[in-house]
Chain A
Amino acid sequence: MSLFARMKTLFGRSALSKEIEDELNSHIEMRIADSVAAGLDPDVARRDALLRFGNPTSIRERTAAIDTVLLVETVAADCRFSIRQLRRSFGFTTAAILALALGVGASLAVFMCVDAVLIKPLPYVHPNRLVDVTESSSLLLRDLTSYPNYLDWKRLNSAFISLSAWTPTSYTAKTALATAQVSGTRVSDDFFRTLGVSPQLGRDFYQGEDSPEATPSVLLSADAWREWFAGRGDAIGSQIILSDKAYTVIGVLPEDFYFAPRGLAQFWTPVGSLNKADRRRNYHNWFCVALLREKTPIDSARANLTAIAASLSKLYPDSNAGKTVRVVSLADATFGSVTSIVTFLFGFVLLLLFIAGANVTSLIIVKSRGRSQEIAIRGALGASRARLLIQFVTEGVLLAGAGVSSGLVLAILAVRSMKAFIPEETLFEMPYLRGVHLSFHALTFALVVFLCLVAVFSAAPMARLRSSRLQADLSVGTRTIRDPGWRRLISALVVLELAMAVVLLVNAGLLGKSLYRLLRVPLGFSPQNLSTLTILSPTKTYGTPVLQAALEKSITETIKQLPGVIGVGVGHLPVSDNRPETLIRVLDAPFHGEHNEVGYRVTSPDFFRTIDATLLKGRFFSESDDSNKPPIAIINMALAEKYFTGQNPIGKRIGNADLSVVREIVGVVANVREGSLDEDIWPALYVPFNQAPVTGYSLIVRSSRTDKTLLPLLVAAIHRLDADISTYDLVSMNEEIDRSESSYLHRSAAWFMSSLALLAMILSLIGLYGLVTYSVSQRTWEISIRMALGAQRKAIFELFLKEFIWLITIGLALGVACSLAISMSMRSLLFGITASDPSTILVVAAVVTMATLTATLVPATRAAFMNPVEALRGE
């Protein structure tokens, strides 16, 4: 019954109100009638009756408030009131929601990346027990491993359940349309068992399937299965031809399988037969991944492997001297540099979120100051503190809700466009980026942010209310009560906002400058109008050095005939990879078994002229430098500096490790940037193509027109010569530089930070502007009186300026100090500049000073030029 009554009262609120009023009236009338009957004057009697009751409105409210269900209606009324409040101060509301949306949007988007990179485990059975194992030396921290060493590690270690080897490879595959190069990985037979991945179809490799005697078999990626077999089940057991060899399809890998260190690979084959190089201990061509035994810490595994590597060094000093081993978790190997970038970005977006929150909070405090009269009236009319708190919480919930939900939308849009802009290749190398989405973690993060905002937004005006006496507010009205405590709090918030904006600006400046330096790093060649592609000719047709040299010659000649082509060179693709590939010995120099690792580049006569490299000494190669002549070589400056310090290298001789081939140096070229833009230049040894022909190489073509249009013509020309030659990696040189990992990472970090810093700057300027405007408006009366008493405009102006210059100075100093500390730890992301780059800090300081002074001057000028008579009358 009582519930029904309450429901009824909920719907019949006005009827209830009316009924209570009637009842109270009848009570008052009866009291008056009795008093009059007792001889009182009717007016006095009425006043007496009303006085006994107190405030009838308040009684009615209290009587109605008994209905607990009416809480629902109260909330609705509060919401309506809050929305009216927020709509009335439209500018404030828009600014607040916008600030919150940007802050929340940016932090949520980055949080989703953090979630994908740092929180979500790798998609394997025991992701925390997987480790990446490689050889290591003082020169190369993460070198590859030679196959014999891998076998010894596997045999001798006691730390791993299994240790598997893998190496990237590519196969020539023929389809009906063309001969294409497809990506593959050769793995030891226990590779997938180490990861804990089993095929979605078919079987895994059996033990011993990686031996040369086993029937060649292949596991397909889910992509390859669809592309080659249209996802049919009868793919299992069928044969495919890869690089002229038949493989039996034994299984299909799961849909979501990825192995980030390898990137994209369609065909997974067992190791099979090893070539001559792979049987050498100094030919580093393999990666290893291992599953730690249960409860074995990674440190003890490292100790175990290091001991094994030390004993191998003693056993095989020729190949293993100075070689040790590096064991890191697979997660570190997978995410590596991305982890630190994402962590930094997350720290920075949290700063932005803080700025946005502080900004809105100080606006709310300012606004609640203006509303103190309204609140005082409500208090006098019987609204309890709890009632007012509910009102503030409602406003906080609405504001934070609008901010967080629009931030959520922004974050989803940002992540979607980020995914769309990431180049395919990058996605293959960083497949976990595909996993960036609005996960449960991200939603929880958004909820936590929402709750924190609501707490701060409702606590701020409530604390403000507590500190002021309501009556005082009511009696004095808007005429200023000085409220120094609160002004100090807002000032502190503004100083913090400024400091954080400075931190963001300085770091954005550093990253921007790094990017600038990186893109202007001397290349040693000119990348304009260069088209490149890599070819691989079938060994079956071109089995001898003579045939290979002849093919290179005819390809070069054919391409030269194409319209617009200026020059063609064969050689190592610049800005791709500068892994050292060979060991050299300098003749006529002391030798103690050092590993002199240098890059080995097979180069055609026109290569240097085509890319526009600079000849420092001696000569380039010519057509006549063929196998009939004594072997010669050209070296780069880095090699000359390292092995011929202070000497003229021309005429000196360099041999390979066992001195079976000795070459005479005929030229020195300026360093060509062969690896990524932020890597050191490695010594490089260039040898004439005709003296050391190979079947796979890169063609670099300089043309007179835009490079993109040329690429299909090049492929067609080569296929006219021989349709069996596979062509891949068609790209223009500028594109190659742009999409290289180092420039991509630096570019995205710089862009991201710049936009963050810009947002932070705008937000803190809004905060500062709001503070000054508020301060001016609060002191209108004081200023008017000062002016009425003869104060000059200049004095008024200076009054404000002096006050805020202090704030700006403190904020700036604090910001610079913090950014020095923070950018120190960001050193790894910088290139070509120090973390305390003075010019960046000076520029930021100048920009911030200018911007903040402008934000201060506008309202201060308004104060100085107001009409004191009008202002006083207005009060």
Chain B
Amino acid sequence: MGKNDLQGTMDLLVLKTLSQVGHLHGYGIVLHIQRASEDLLHVEEGSLYPALHRMEQNGWIKSEWALTETNRKAKFYRLSPAGKKHLADAENSFNQLVRGIRSLMQYA
């Protein structure tokens, strides 16, 4: 519990974003999470890049420099096969966690 789970949540958010959008730069990931969560989740920009870097070191995502639609150079990330597998695991355990917490909250 604690720190690791929060970190795991950040990983889950980023990986899910990449699986939904395909490939995206850091700023785009921040915006996507904010938009898709209906403005409920704000990713701490200071924590995003260390997380991205760590996931890249773990081989879950791959990166390349490319041009954005506004012709700006940015580093784009995409999911790797290992990342896909990890995402499935993470989603699974996240759903279990949510189910568990919900049951606990509704316990009469």
Contacts and interface: CB of A to CB of B under 8 A. Distances in A.
Contacts of A1: 59
B53 A2 contact: no
> Which of the listed residues A23, A58, A63, A64 has the most CB atoms from chain B within 10 Å of its own CB?
A23
Given A20-B49, A59-B50, 4 more contacts: A5-B56, A20-B53, A26-B27, A27-B74
A9 to B, nearest CB: 8
Contacts of B73: 22, 26
B70 interface: yes
A66 B53 contact: yes
A66 B46 contact: no
21 contacts: A6-B57, A19-B75, A22-B73, A22-B75, A23-B26, A23-B75, A26-B72, A26-B73, A26-B74, A26-B75, A29-B72, A30-B68, A30-B70, A33-B72, A52-B45, A53-B45, A54-B46, A62-B50, A64-B53, A66-B54, A66-B57
Interface of B: 25-27, 45-46, 49-50, 53-54, 56-59, 68, 70, 72-75
A2 B49 CA distance: 18
Given A30-B74, A66-B54, A24 B27 contact: no
A2 B59 contact: yes
B59 A63 contact: no
Contacts of A66: 50, 53-54, 57
Contacts of A33: 70, 72
Contact of B27 (A5, A6, A19, A30): A30
A61 to B, nearest CB: 10
B49 A59 contact: yes
Contact of B57 (A24, A52, A67): A67
B74 A53 contact: no
Interface string A169-183: 000000000000000
A62 B57 CA distance: 14
Contacts of B50: 59, 62-63, 65-66
A31 interface: yes
Contacts of A23: 26, 49, 74-75
A655 B70 CA distance: 129
A27 B27 contact: yes
A33 to B, nearest CB: 7
A59 B46 CA distance: 6
A29 B73 CA distance: 10
Interface in A274-332: none
A63 B53 contact: yes
Contacts of B25: 26-27, 30
Nearest to B29: A27
A65 B54 CA distance: 10
Interface string A1-29: 11001100000000000011011101101
Contact of A31 (B27, B57, B70): B27
A24 B72 contact: no
B74 A24 contact: no
Contact of A30 (B53, B56, B58, B72): B72
A29 B72 CA distance: 9
B57 A2 contact: yes
A26 B70 CA distance: 12
A189 to B, nearest CB: 78
Contacts of B72: 26, 29-30, 33
> Which of the listed residues B25, B27, B59 has the most CB atoms from chain A within 10 Å of its own CB?
B27
A479 B28 CA distance: 49
B45 A63 contact: no
Contacts of A29: 72
Contacts of B57: 2, 5-6, 66-67
Contacts of A24: 49
A849 B27 CA distance: 72
A30 to B, nearest CB: 4
A639 B70 CA distance: 120
In the A-B complex, the 9 residue pairs with the closest CB atoms? A54-B46, A30-B27, A26-B74, A23-B75, A27-B27, A66-B54, A63-B53, A62-B50, A63-B50
Given A23-B26, A26-B74, A29-B72, A53 B46 contact: yes
A66 B56 CA distance: 10
A62 B54 CA distance: 10
Interface string A26-67: 110111010000000000000000001110001100111111
Contacts of A54: 45-46
Contacts of A26: 25, 27, 72-75
A65 B49 CA distance: 12
A63 B49 contact: yes
A28 to B, nearest CB: 9
A5 B25 CA distance: 20
B45 A27 contact: yes
Contacts of B56: 5
A201 B90 CA distance: 77
Contacts of B53: 20, 63-64, 66
A63 B54 CA distance: 8
A518 to B, nearest CB: 72
A19 B49 CA distance: 12
A24 B98 CA distance: 33
A64 B54 CA distance: 9
A2 B58 contact: yes
A576 B1 CA distance: 83
Nearest to A55: B46
A63 B26 CA distance: 13
A64 B49 CA distance: 10
A243 B57 CA distance: 88
Nearest to B73: A26
Contacts of A53: 45-46
B54 to A, nearest CB: 5
Nearest to B58: A2
> Which of the listed residues A31, A59, A66 has the most CB atoms from chain B within 10 Å of its own CB?
A66
> Which of the listed residues B25, B68, B74 has the most CB atoms from chain A within 10 Å of its own CB?
B74
B44 to A, nearest CB: 9
A598 to B, nearest CB: 90
Interface string A63-98: 111110000000000000000000000000000000
A22 B75 CA distance: 9
B31 to A, nearest CB: 8
A733 to B, nearest CB: 83
A33 B75 CA distance: 17
Contacts of B49: 20, 23-24, 27, 59, 63
Contacts of B74: 23, 26-27, 30
A30 B27 CA distance: 7
A686 B49 CA distance: 103
A19 B53 CA distance: 11
Contacts of B59: 1-2
B104 to A, nearest CB: 34
Contacts of A19: 75
A639 to B, nearest CB: 92
A27 B53 CA distance: 15
A562 to B, nearest CB: 94
A19 B59 CA distance: 18
B73 to A, nearest CB: 6
A59 B48 CA distance: 9
A27 B70 contact: no
A65 B51 CA distance: 11
A27 B26 contact: yes
A810 to B, nearest CB: 50
B93 to A, nearest CB: 22
> Which of the listed residues B49, B56, B68 has the most CB atoms from chain A within 10 Å of its own CB?
B49
A27 B74 CA distance: 8
A128 to B, nearest CB: 57
B66 to A, nearest CB: 11
B82 to A, nearest CB: 9
Contacts of A6: 57
Contacts of B75: 19, 22-23, 26
